[in-house]
Amino acid sequence: MLDGTQILGLIAGVFTTAAVVPQIWKAWKTKEVDDVSPGMFFVLITGLCLWVIYGVIQKDIPIIATNGLAFMLNSFMIFLIYRYREKD
Amino acid sequence: MLDGTQILGLIAGVFTTAAVVPQIWKAWKTKEVDDVSPGMFFVLITGLCLWVIYGVIQKDIPIIATNGLAFMLNSFMIFLIYRYREKD
* Distance between CA atoms of residues B68 and A4, nearest Å: 21
Work out how many CB contacts closer than 8 A connect A with B: 119
A11 contacts B50? CB cut-off 8 A: yes
Identify the contact set of chain A against chain B, taking CB-CB distances under 8 A: 5, 8-9, 11-23, 25-27, 30, 32-37, 39-41, 43-44, 46-48, 50-51, 53-54, 57-58
Model confidence over B29-73: pLDDT tens digits? 999 999 999 999 999 999 999 999 999 999 988 889 999 999 999
* ipTM passes above 0.95: no
Q: How far is CA A55 from CA A34, A84, B14, B35, B65, in A?
A: 34, 33, 16, 33, 20
- How far apart are the CA of B31 and the nearest CA of chain A, in angstroms? 9
Among B7, B10, B37, which would you mutate to test the A interface (most chain A Cβ atoms within 10 Å of its Cβ)? B37
Model confidence over A27-69: pLDDT tens digits? 999 999 999 999 999 999 999 999 999 999 999 888 899 999 9
Supply the range of the domain harboring residue A37. Answer: 4-84
- How far apart are the CA of A21 and the nearest CA of chain B, in angstroms? 7
Domain count, chain B: 1
* Distance between CA atoms of residues B30 and A66, nearest Å: 33
Specify the CATH number for the domain of residue A58: 1.20.1280.290
Give residue A50's pLDDT.
96
